[in-house]
Amino acid sequence: MDKKKDVQKKKNIFLYSWLESEAGRGSNEICSAVVHFLKSVKTHCKQKGYNQLHLYCDSCPGQNKNSTTMGLLLRYVTSGACPFKRVLVTFPIVGHSYLPADRVFGRIEKVLRKPSEILLPAGYHAILRAHRTLNLYGTDWSVYNHKAVADPTLCTAGIGVRECRRWLFRRGSSKVQTSDTFAGPWDDWYLLADGISLAARKPLFVPATTHVSATKKPDVLKLLQLVRGSPEEKGIYDTILLRTMSKKVKDDLVLARPTQHVKPTQKPARKKRNAANPATTAPPQPTQKPAHKTRNAANPATTAPPHPAQKPACRKRQADTPAHTAHPKT
Protein backbone atom coordinates (compact mmCIF):
# COMPACT_ATOMS: atom_id res chain seq x y z
CA MET A 1 0.00 0.00 0.00
CA ASP A 2 1.20 3.46 -0.83
CA LYS A 3 2.38 5.26 2.29
CA LYS A 4 0.62 8.43 1.19
CA LYS A 5 -2.71 6.61 1.31
CA ASP A 6 -1.97 5.17 4.75
CA VAL A 7 -1.53 8.52 6.47
CA GLN A 8 -3.80 8.86 9.48
CA LYS A 9 -5.61 12.15 9.41
CA LYS A 10 -8.27 13.68 11.57
CA LYS A 11 -10.90 13.32 8.87
CA ASN A 12 -10.42 9.59 8.27
CA ILE A 13 -10.29 8.37 11.90
CA PHE A 14 -13.46 8.25 14.01
CA LEU A 15 -13.78 7.87 17.77
CA TYR A 16 -16.95 7.05 19.72
CA SER A 17 -17.32 8.11 23.32
CA TRP A 18 -19.92 7.47 26.01
CA LEU A 19 -20.06 7.37 29.79
CA GLU A 20 -20.57 4.30 31.93
CA SER A 21 -23.70 5.96 33.28
CA GLU A 22 -25.16 6.14 29.74
CA ALA A 23 -24.50 2.74 28.18
CA GLY A 24 -22.56 -0.48 28.65
CA ARG A 25 -19.78 -2.12 26.66
CA GLY A 26 -21.70 -4.89 24.94
CA SER A 27 -22.61 -5.88 21.42
CA ASN A 28 -25.47 -3.36 21.15
CA GLU A 29 -23.12 -0.43 21.76
CA ILE A 30 -20.48 -1.73 19.36
CA CYS A 31 -22.98 -2.53 16.60
CA SER A 32 -24.68 0.86 16.97
CA ALA A 33 -21.33 2.64 16.57
CA VAL A 34 -20.53 0.52 13.50
CA VAL A 35 -23.88 1.37 11.91
CA HIS A 36 -23.31 5.08 12.49
CA PHE A 37 -19.83 4.84 10.98
CA LEU A 38 -21.05 2.97 7.87
CA LYS A 39 -23.73 5.58 7.27
CA SER A 40 -21.26 8.44 7.65
CA VAL A 41 -18.82 7.03 5.06
CA LYS A 42 -21.39 5.72 2.57
CA THR A 43 -21.30 8.74 0.27
CA HIS A 44 -17.50 8.91 0.31
CA CYS A 45 -17.16 5.20 -0.52
CA LYS A 46 -19.57 5.53 -3.44
CA GLN A 47 -17.66 8.46 -4.87
CA LYS A 48 -14.36 6.59 -4.59
CA GLY A 49 -15.83 3.42 -6.06
CA TYR A 50 -14.83 1.15 -3.18
CA ASN A 51 -16.36 -2.30 -3.61
CA GLN A 52 -14.88 -4.14 -0.59
CA LEU A 53 -15.06 -3.42 3.13
CA HIS A 54 -12.48 -4.98 5.46
CA LEU A 55 -13.24 -5.00 9.19
CA TYR A 56 -10.66 -6.05 11.79
CA CYS A 57 -11.53 -6.66 15.42
CA ASP A 58 -10.46 -8.76 18.36
CA SER A 59 -12.22 -11.96 19.38
CA CYS A 60 -14.09 -10.59 22.39
CA PRO A 61 -17.30 -12.67 22.45
CA GLY A 62 -19.29 -10.05 24.34
CA GLN A 63 -18.61 -7.24 21.86
CA ASN A 64 -17.45 -8.38 18.41
CA LYS A 65 -17.37 -12.12 17.83
CA ASN A 66 -21.02 -13.06 18.35
CA SER A 67 -24.32 -13.61 16.58
CA THR A 68 -25.36 -9.98 17.11
CA THR A 69 -22.51 -8.66 14.96
CA MET A 70 -23.08 -11.41 12.42
CA GLY A 71 -26.78 -10.55 12.21
CA LEU A 72 -26.03 -6.84 11.83
CA LEU A 73 -23.70 -7.37 8.87
CA LEU A 74 -26.09 -9.85 7.28
CA ARG A 75 -28.88 -7.30 7.53
CA TYR A 76 -26.55 -4.61 6.19
CA VAL A 77 -25.61 -6.47 2.99
CA THR A 78 -29.23 -7.48 2.26
CA SER A 79 -30.90 -4.13 3.03
CA GLY A 80 -29.91 -2.34 -0.18
CA ALA A 81 -27.93 0.31 1.74
CA CYS A 82 -24.59 -1.48 1.33
CA PRO A 83 -22.36 0.06 -1.39
CA PHE A 84 -19.83 -2.76 -1.11
CA LYS A 85 -19.89 -6.03 -3.01
CA ARG A 86 -18.07 -7.88 -0.24
CA VAL A 87 -17.70 -7.37 3.51
CA LEU A 88 -14.82 -9.31 5.05
CA VAL A 89 -14.37 -9.54 8.83
CA THR A 90 -11.01 -10.75 10.16
CA PHE A 91 -10.23 -11.79 13.73
CA PRO A 92 -6.43 -11.70 14.26
CA ILE A 93 -4.64 -14.16 16.50
CA VAL A 94 -4.43 -13.15 20.15
CA GLY A 95 -1.17 -11.31 20.71
CA HIS A 96 -0.87 -10.36 17.03
CA SER A 97 -3.80 -7.97 16.77
CA TYR A 98 -1.95 -4.65 16.66
CA LEU A 99 -4.08 -2.53 14.34
CA PRO A 100 -3.78 1.00 12.94
CA ALA A 101 -6.34 2.12 15.52
CA ASP A 102 -3.88 1.19 18.26
CA ARG A 103 -1.51 3.85 16.96
CA VAL A 104 -4.21 6.43 17.60
CA PHE A 105 -4.77 5.16 21.13
CA GLY A 106 -1.03 5.28 21.74
CA ARG A 107 -0.81 8.96 20.82
CA ILE A 108 -3.81 9.77 23.01
CA GLU A 109 -2.38 7.89 25.99
CA LYS A 110 0.89 9.75 25.55
CA VAL A 111 -0.97 13.02 26.17
CA LEU A 112 -2.95 11.59 29.09
CA ARG A 113 0.24 10.44 30.83
CA LYS A 114 1.43 14.03 31.15
CA PRO A 115 0.74 15.65 34.56
CA SER A 116 -2.70 17.16 34.21
CA GLU A 117 -5.97 17.37 36.09
CA ILE A 118 -9.11 16.32 34.25
CA LEU A 119 -12.25 16.47 36.35
CA LEU A 120 -15.00 16.42 33.74
CA PRO A 121 -15.71 14.37 30.61
CA ALA A 122 -15.31 17.54 28.58
CA GLY A 123 -11.59 17.48 29.37
CA TYR A 124 -11.23 14.08 27.74
CA HIS A 125 -13.39 15.17 24.82
CA ALA A 126 -11.03 18.06 24.09
CA ILE A 127 -8.05 15.69 23.93
CA LEU A 128 -9.90 13.23 21.70
CA ARG A 129 -11.04 15.96 19.30
CA ALA A 130 -7.46 17.18 18.96
CA HIS A 131 -6.51 13.83 17.46
CA ARG A 132 -9.54 12.52 15.57
CA THR A 133 -13.20 13.07 14.72
CA LEU A 134 -15.21 12.50 17.89
CA ASN A 135 -18.79 11.23 18.04
CA LEU A 136 -20.54 11.71 21.38
CA TYR A 137 -23.33 9.53 22.66
CA GLY A 138 -26.70 11.27 22.65
CA THR A 139 -25.44 14.02 20.34
CA ASP A 140 -24.05 12.23 17.29
CA TRP A 141 -25.18 8.65 17.76
CA SER A 142 -27.46 6.45 19.88
CA VAL A 143 -27.69 2.83 20.96
CA TYR A 144 -30.19 0.41 19.40
CA ASN A 145 -31.10 -3.13 20.39
CA HIS A 146 -29.48 -5.12 17.58
CA LYS A 147 -29.26 -8.18 19.80
CA ALA A 148 -33.05 -8.47 20.01
CA VAL A 149 -33.19 -8.56 16.19
CA ALA A 150 -30.51 -11.21 15.71
CA ASP A 151 -31.22 -13.66 18.53
CA PRO A 152 -34.72 -14.83 17.51
CA THR A 153 -33.99 -14.98 13.77
CA LEU A 154 -30.47 -16.41 13.41
CA CYS A 155 -29.49 -20.02 13.95
CA THR A 156 -25.71 -20.18 14.49
CA ALA A 157 -25.61 -23.68 15.98
CA GLY A 158 -22.85 -25.73 14.41
CA ILE A 159 -20.86 -22.81 13.02
CA GLY A 160 -18.36 -22.62 15.84
CA VAL A 161 -18.28 -18.85 16.06
CA ARG A 162 -15.41 -18.80 18.54
CA GLU A 163 -13.17 -20.81 16.21
CA CYS A 164 -13.79 -18.60 13.18
CA ARG A 165 -10.98 -16.39 11.86
CA ARG A 166 -12.89 -14.84 8.97
CA TRP A 167 -16.48 -13.98 8.02
CA LEU A 168 -17.48 -13.13 4.47
CA PHE A 169 -20.73 -11.43 3.44
CA ARG A 170 -21.81 -10.66 -0.12
CA ARG A 171 -24.19 -7.93 -1.15
CA GLY A 172 -27.73 -9.18 -1.71
CA SER A 173 -26.98 -12.68 -0.42
CA SER A 174 -28.32 -14.24 2.78
CA LYS A 175 -25.44 -16.71 2.81
CA VAL A 176 -22.61 -16.30 5.30
CA GLN A 177 -19.19 -17.83 4.66
CA THR A 178 -16.84 -18.64 7.51
CA SER A 179 -13.30 -19.97 7.75
CA ASP A 180 -11.23 -21.21 10.66
CA THR A 181 -8.00 -20.09 8.95
CA PHE A 182 -6.74 -16.96 7.22
CA ALA A 183 -6.18 -18.60 3.82
CA GLY A 184 -8.16 -21.84 3.94
CA PRO A 185 -11.45 -22.83 2.29
CA TRP A 186 -14.81 -21.31 3.10
CA ASP A 187 -17.83 -22.96 4.69
CA ASP A 188 -21.26 -21.81 3.51
CA TRP A 189 -24.05 -21.20 6.03
CA TYR A 190 -27.68 -20.15 5.68
CA LEU A 191 -28.66 -18.74 9.05
CA LEU A 192 -32.19 -17.63 8.21
CA ALA A 193 -35.25 -19.80 7.85
CA ASP A 194 -37.23 -19.68 4.62
CA GLY A 195 -39.35 -16.56 4.32
CA ILE A 196 -37.49 -14.58 7.01
CA SER A 197 -35.77 -11.34 6.04
CA LEU A 198 -33.57 -9.30 8.35
CA ALA A 199 -33.82 -6.25 6.12
CA ALA A 200 -37.39 -5.60 7.29
CA ARG A 201 -36.53 -5.85 10.98
CA LYS A 202 -35.52 -2.58 12.61
CA PRO A 203 -33.79 -2.46 16.01
CA LEU A 204 -35.50 -0.45 18.72
CA PHE A 205 -33.97 2.53 20.44
CA VAL A 206 -32.32 1.83 23.80
CA PRO A 207 -32.56 4.73 26.29
CA ALA A 208 -29.60 5.71 28.42
CA THR A 209 -29.10 3.16 31.20
CA THR A 210 -26.48 3.37 33.92
CA HIS A 211 -23.98 0.53 34.21
CA VAL A 212 -22.18 1.83 37.28
CA SER A 213 -22.16 -1.08 39.70
CA ALA A 214 -23.05 -0.70 43.35
CA THR A 215 -19.59 -1.98 44.33
CA LYS A 216 -17.85 0.69 42.25
CA LYS A 217 -19.83 3.63 43.64
CA PRO A 218 -18.11 3.74 47.09
CA ASP A 219 -14.67 3.76 45.47
CA VAL A 220 -15.60 6.73 43.29
CA LEU A 221 -17.01 8.61 46.27
CA LYS A 222 -13.73 8.12 48.14
CA LEU A 223 -11.75 9.52 45.22
CA LEU A 224 -14.05 12.54 45.00
CA GLN A 225 -13.10 13.47 48.56
CA LEU A 226 -9.53 14.01 47.36
CA VAL A 227 -10.54 16.15 44.39
CA ARG A 228 -10.49 19.91 44.73
CA GLY A 229 -13.32 20.70 42.39
CA SER A 230 -16.05 23.28 42.34
CA PRO A 231 -19.55 22.41 43.60
CA GLU A 232 -20.76 22.39 40.00
CA GLU A 233 -18.12 19.84 39.01
CA LYS A 234 -18.87 17.59 41.96
CA GLY A 235 -22.58 17.96 41.25
CA ILE A 236 -22.10 16.24 37.90
CA TYR A 237 -20.72 13.17 39.66
CA ASP A 238 -23.58 13.25 42.15
CA THR A 239 -25.96 13.03 39.22
CA ILE A 240 -23.98 10.21 37.60
CA LEU A 241 -23.81 8.21 40.82
CA LEU A 242 -27.40 8.85 41.80
CA ARG A 243 -28.37 5.51 40.36
CA THR A 244 -26.41 2.29 40.10
CA MET A 245 -26.83 -0.65 37.81
CA SER A 246 -29.78 -2.84 38.72
CA LYS A 247 -29.47 -6.61 38.70
CA LYS A 248 -32.24 -6.66 36.11
CA VAL A 249 -30.10 -4.83 33.54
CA LYS A 250 -29.05 -7.51 31.03
CA ASP A 251 -25.89 -6.25 29.40
CA ASP A 252 -24.15 -8.21 26.68
CA LEU A 253 -21.14 -8.69 28.92
CA VAL A 254 -23.38 -10.25 31.57
CA LEU A 255 -24.91 -12.59 29.00
CA ALA A 256 -21.44 -13.59 27.82
CA ARG A 257 -20.52 -14.76 31.34
CA PRO A 258 -23.72 -16.25 32.80
CA THR A 259 -21.91 -18.21 35.51
CA GLN A 260 -20.90 -14.96 37.19
CA HIS A 261 -24.48 -13.77 37.53
CA VAL A 262 -26.48 -16.81 38.66
CA LYS A 263 -29.86 -16.15 40.21
CA PRO A 264 -30.47 -17.65 43.65
CA THR A 265 -33.18 -19.96 42.28
CA GLN A 266 -30.87 -21.42 39.63
CA LYS A 267 -28.66 -24.45 40.29
CA PRO A 268 -25.20 -24.05 38.73
CA ALA A 269 -24.51 -27.78 39.04
CA ARG A 270 -27.50 -28.65 36.88
CA LYS A 271 -26.56 -26.04 34.29
CA LYS A 272 -23.00 -27.38 34.23
CA ARG A 273 -24.24 -30.94 33.71
CA ASN A 274 -26.43 -29.90 30.79
CA ALA A 275 -23.56 -27.96 29.25
CA ALA A 276 -21.29 -31.00 29.45
CA ASN A 277 -23.98 -33.37 28.12
CA PRO A 278 -26.23 -31.59 25.59
CA ALA A 279 -28.19 -34.80 25.05
CA THR A 280 -29.47 -34.78 28.63
CA THR A 281 -33.25 -34.83 28.69
CA ALA A 282 -35.47 -32.48 30.62
CA PRO A 283 -35.28 -32.66 34.45
CA PRO A 284 -37.40 -35.57 35.79
CA GLN A 285 -40.73 -35.00 37.47
CA PRO A 286 -40.83 -35.15 41.29
CA THR A 287 -42.99 -38.29 41.09
CA GLN A 288 -40.35 -40.24 39.18
CA LYS A 289 -38.38 -42.89 41.06
CA PRO A 290 -34.59 -42.57 40.78
CA ALA A 291 -34.13 -46.32 40.28
CA HIS A 292 -36.72 -46.37 37.49
CA LYS A 293 -35.09 -43.41 35.79
CA THR A 294 -31.57 -44.92 35.99
CA ARG A 295 -32.70 -48.24 34.56
CA ASN A 296 -34.38 -46.60 31.56
CA ALA A 297 -31.33 -44.43 30.92
CA ALA A 298 -29.03 -47.47 30.98
CA ASN A 299 -31.33 -49.61 28.80
CA PRO A 300 -33.30 -47.40 26.38
CA ALA A 301 -34.63 -50.45 24.55
CA THR A 302 -36.50 -51.85 27.54
CA THR A 303 -39.99 -53.05 26.63
CA ALA A 304 -41.53 -52.54 30.04
CA PRO A 305 -44.25 -49.86 29.86
CA PRO A 306 -43.13 -46.66 31.61
CA HIS A 307 -44.78 -45.20 34.64
CA PRO A 308 -47.60 -42.78 33.70
CA ALA A 309 -45.61 -39.90 35.21
CA GLN A 310 -42.55 -40.73 33.06
CA LYS A 311 -43.76 -39.18 29.80
CA PRO A 312 -40.48 -37.42 28.95
CA ALA A 313 -38.58 -40.75 29.14
CA CYS A 314 -41.21 -42.36 26.90
CA ARG A 315 -40.84 -39.68 24.26
CA LYS A 316 -37.05 -40.02 24.39
CA ARG A 317 -37.29 -43.81 23.82
CA GLN A 318 -39.49 -43.34 20.77
CA ALA A 319 -37.12 -40.72 19.40
CA ASP A 320 -34.22 -43.15 19.80
CA THR A 321 -36.14 -45.96 18.00
CA PRO A 322 -38.13 -44.34 15.14
CA ALA A 323 -39.34 -47.74 13.93
CA HIS A 324 -41.31 -48.30 17.12
CA THR A 325 -44.89 -47.37 16.25
CA ALA A 326 -46.78 -48.72 19.24
CA HIS A 327 -47.77 -46.08 21.77
CA PRO A 328 -47.97 -47.29 25.38
CA LYS A 329 -51.28 -46.78 27.03
CA THR A 330 -51.28 -44.73 30.18
- Domain locations along the chain: 8-209
The pLDDT tens digits along the chain (330 residues) read 444 556 888 888 999 999 999 999 999 999 999 999 999 999 999 999 999 999 999 999 999 999 999 999 999 999 888 999 999 999 999 887 788 888 999 999 999 998 778 888 999 999 999 988 999 999 999 999 999 999 988 988 889 998 999 999 999 999 999 999 999 899 999 988 777 888 788 999 999 998 888 888 888 888 888 877 777 777 788 888 877 765 545 444 333 333 333 333 333 323 333 333 444 444 445 544 444 444 444 444 444 444 444 433 333 333 343 444 444 444
Q: Is the pTM of this model over 0.75?
A: no
- Residue count of the chain: 330
